[in-house]
Amino acid sequence: MTLRITDLHFGYGRRKILHGVDLTAHKGELLGLLGPNGSGKSTVLKNIARIHTPTSGSFRWDETVALEDLRRRELARLVAYVPQTIDVSFELDVREAIVLGRTPHFAGRPTAEDWDHVDRAIELLGLGPLVGRSVTELSGGQAQRVLIARSLAQQPSILLLDEPTSALDIKYQLQTLRLARQITRTAQVAAIIAIHDLSQAARYCDRIAFLQDGHVLAVGTPEDVLTAERIEQMYGIEVSIIHANGSVQVIPRDEPDSTVALESATAAA
């Protein structure tokens, strides 16, 4: 099964943000959206999730299901969206916040099965010590992990992650990306992640799409897409690309320790 985004246009009044975006995300694949700030990464995800209404374009799942035609509850059974920050206007503890992901699946009150999904998500994200605490008391990183757990409890077919590691320390960044890749493959989810870190995207994403000024400039495997020339074109910095042990590392050349880092990466290879 494939999520197919075709000729997506979006803007605010006369300000155009997306210009004919075409993308596909396959079941069992983690697709990374890369690009400078303002390139349209988050906007693409918000259009898929129907937080924004596109000027034009279509979203097809399995070639037959038009996401734009689904009712909200039907869409929520299919698509889970993880925003950059959690926003609640009333007190919820961690389990209550996560069970909100199950609302498309039950009527009235959550069942024992719903709470089982919640508890599995809590275990996967290492949130056990936080159970019972209000989400308003959590740090930004802890709250982000609650959002991800909520999306997992939702059991989506399409998972949209909007810079989910931006508020996390390095330990939880890597844990979250490993988990995203694991869930994508084991649950056969089509996942799209907006991400800034080029090396992390190269390590964890199956394919990468580069966006700039609302246009898709390149799509392909990290090895094909992450080139020094393209990164300099998009970000205005010179980098070295190191291929080591089947992964790609992006090392800025203008940092004082770049020579040491380059030698270390080469030795590791």
Superfamily of chain region 2-225: P-loop containing nucleotide triphosphate hydrolases (3.40.50.300)
Q: For position 108, what pLDDT does the model report?
A: 87
Give the three-state DSSP class for 111: coil
Q: Which of 172, 117, 242, 195 is nearest to 207 (CA)?
A: 195
In tens, the pLDDT along 148-199 reads: 899 999 999 999 999 988 878 888 888 889 989 988 998 899 999 999 999 9
In tens, the pLDDT along 221-262 reads: 999 999 999 999 889 899 989 887 777 888 888 655 444 443
As a whole number, mean pLDDT of residues 57-61 equals 97
Q: For position 255, what pLDDT does the model report?
A: 56
As a whole number, mean pLDDT of residues 81-85 equals 85
Q: List the single range of 20-24, 68-72, 238-242 with lowest mean pLDDT.
A: 238-242
- How many secondary structure helices (H) and strands (E) does the chain include? 10, 12
Q: For position 264, what pLDDT does the model report?
A: 43
User: Which pair of tokens denotes residue 191?
Assistant: 């996942």
Tell me how far CA of residue 95 lies from CA of 156, 165, 188, 200, in angstroms. 19, 21, 25, 30
Distance CA 8, CA 67 (A): 13
Residues with Cβ within 8 Å of 261's Cβ and at least 6 positions away in sequence, in order, are: 251, 255
pTM score? 0.88
In tens, the pLDDT along 103-157 reads: 999 988 999 999 999 999 999 888 999 999 998 888 888 888 899 899 999 999 9
Q: For position 254, what pLDDT does the model report?
A: 67
Please report which confidence band the pLDDT of residue 269 belongs to, taking 50, 70 and 90 as the band edges: very low
Q: For position 87, what pLDDT does the model report?
A: 67
Q: Which letter does DSSP use for residue 7 in this model?
A: E
The answer, yes or no, to whether residue 268 has pLDDT greater than 50, is no
Q: For position 266, what pLDDT does the model report?
A: 39
